[in-house]
Structures are given as structure tokens and as C-alpha cells.
Amino acid sequence: VHLIQSGAEVKKPGASVTVSCKVTGYTLTEVSLHWVRQAPTKGLEWMGGLDADEGETVYAQKFQDRVTTSEDTSTDTAYMHLSSLRSEDTAVYYCALNWGVPGVFDIWGQGTTVTVSS
Amino acid sequence: DIQMTQSPSTLSASVGDRVTITCRASQSISNWLAWYQQKPGKAPKVLIYRASSLESGVPSRFSGGGSGTEFTLTISSLQPDDFATYSCQQYNSYPWTFGQGTKVDIK
């Protein structure tokens, strides 16, 4: 299974961005996909994803008001939409799978750089 | 939220050295801890899960230990390919959280 993400984005403050993540090798309905970001020189930050046990999407409270995830099962592509962008949202955004062990990210996309700048 | 604190932030070492990185959780997470290695411009790669289980394909010089609130990642004999940043992650409860990372560089 592989994850292929969309290309880099440059956005102005207040705008929105959508990052896509295509699953290959398996179908989107067979995997537990999450979103993790990393700001420059900072640590990794989990944003949200599918709780496989509960069958529902969970988000970090920090992002709950601004992030929406969706899926297109016909193309096995997941989307992460982040609104009301600010400079602090400048980061590399990754999609990642809990493949072997729930809670552990063992398969990652290549990352999508989102730059927020006026 | 559970805070994960790693020490040190940077570690300078030589090839062949034994290296240990510590990760502390702000509350007990049992053994629901993973370790990742990340190189510049690349996605992280999981090394250890459930605190001490070695991910398939990861060299045996990597080992993890601990439970509750204190955990370690040890590299028994540092190799040139091991110079990277290492991060811990708890998956005991939402939101899943990561440590700030420990950069291992060449002494």
C-alpha cells in the first residue's frame, strides 16, 4: 500500500487549502487514514483521522473548528480541508496509515508543503 | 492532552557509540508508545511500537524500553545511516501526541 499526496500550495492568510491523498494497493475503505503536520523546525502534530474501532473520524480539539476530512471511495482518495489559514499553519502536511498496529503510523505519504503568506 | 517531552533535544555522537534517548509522558500511557526516525525532507519511519516491539525490517541495534511515563530508545552501535531526528508518540488516548524530537548528529 502506498500514499500519494497532492503538490505544494501557497495560500494567503484567511484562505482555505485542500490536500489530497490517494491510496494505492488497497481501497480507502480498508485503511485507517490520518493527517499529521510538521511546521518548520517543529515536531510532528496529529490533526485527526479515522478511529477504526469506532468507525468515526476524530480530530484534535485544536483543529476541530477549522479542519474537515472527506473521502472519494471511487478513486480511493482522501482529502483534508483546512480553513481560515494563518501563518502558523505553514507546514508539511502528511497523510499516514495505521496499518499494522492501531495508533501507529507505519505508512506515510510523501508530504505536501503548505505555505501561508501575504 | 498528554505532553511528551524528549531529552536531549540534540545529541552529538560518533559511529559506534551507544546512544539513548528518553521520552517522558505527562501521565501514564502504559506501553502505548512508538518511536520514529526522520531524515531531512522525508516522512517519518516507525522503528518501535508498543514501547519495545521492533517494527519489521528495522535493524536489531534499535531497541525500546519503559512503561508508564518514562521510555527510552537505544541504538546499540550508531551507524552512519542513523544520523537523523527521532520522535516518540503516544497513542494511549486522543489527541495522539508526539515529542518535540531529538536530533542525533555527528560529533
Q: Do B32 and A103 touch (CB under 8 A)?
A: yes
Residue B11: count other Cβ atoms within 10 Å of its Cβ. Answer: 17
- Predicted pLDDT at A40: 96
Kindly state the cell numbers that stand for A62. Answer: 485544536
* pLDDT string in tens for chain B (107-residue length): 999 999 999 999 999 999 999 999 999 999 999 999 999 999 999 999 999 999 999 999 999 999 999 999 999 999 999 999 999 999 999 999 999 999 999 88
Nearest chain A alpha carbon to B90: A103
CB A23 within 8 A of CB A32: no
Residue A85 above 90 pLDDT?
Answer: yes
- Which residues of A, range 77-96, sit inside 8 Å of B by Cβ? 94, 96
Confidence category of residue A7, pLDDT binned at 50, 70, 90: very high
Confidence category of residue A52, pLDDT binned at 50, 70, 90: confident
B95 touches chain A (CB under 8 A): yes
Using CA of residue A35, residue A112, residue A90, residue A86, what is the dihedral sign? Answer: negative
Q: Do B43 and A44 touch (CB under 8 A)?
A: no
C-alpha span between A33 and B70 (Å, rounded): 28
